[in-house]
Amino acid sequence: DTAVSQTPKYLVTQMGNDKSIKCEQNLGHDTMYWYKQDSKKFLKIMFSYNNKELIINETVPNRFSPKSPDKAHLNLHINSLELGDSAVYFCASLGQPNTEAFFGQGTRLTVV
């Protein structure tokens, strides 16, 4: 049973569209994250979400918004997609500080 699952795994869409990526964790963790991995493999934090409180990386455009319907889910909505949004997006979850963060398999977003 997958601990952190993301859907879809691949997403190809046109510039200007709005899309969502879903993330679910079955670990009972309180904290979830979204990371962006660019073409050079650099992993950069986008959002941290804990008990309905959100910490945003100030470099993330406001076209990106996380939505958490419950503790087990943290979805990522992206409006007005741009070519530069093409990347692999990873969801992750964390139970306690100083313990393992579990990552999903990633969603490869391609904007054409």
Partner 1 sequence: GENVEQHPSTLSVQEGDSAVIKCTYSDSASNYFPWYKQELGKGPQLIIDIRSNVGEKKDQRIAVTLNKTAKHFSLHITETQPEDSAVYFCAAQSPSGYSTLTFGKGTMLLVSP
Q: What single-letter DSSP state applies at residue 35?
A: E
Strands (E), 1-112: 4-7, 10-13, 19-25, 31-37, 43-50, 53-56, 64-67, 75-78, 87-94, 101-103, 107-111
Q: Which of 19, 22, 71, 103 binds partner 1 (CB under 8 A)?
A: 103
Is position 23 an interface residue for partner 1 (rule: CB under 8 A)? no
Comparing CB distances to partner 1, the nearer of 30 and 82 is: 30
Q: What single-letter DSSP state applies at residue 52?
A: T
Give CA–CA dist 106/89, Å, rounded.
Answer: 5
Minimum CB separation from partner 1 for residue 47, in Å? 9
Stretch that binds partner 1, among 11-19, 46-54, 61-69, 77-85 (CB under 8 A): 46-54
| Angle value at C-alpha 72, between 104 and 24, nearest 5 degrees | 30
Q: For the window 47-86, what string marks contact with partner 1 as x by the rule CB under 8 A?
A: -xxx----x-------------------------------
Q: Which of 7, 65, 86, 105 binds partner 1 (CB under 8 A)?
A: 105
Comparing CB distances to partner 1, the nearer of 36 and 78 is: 36
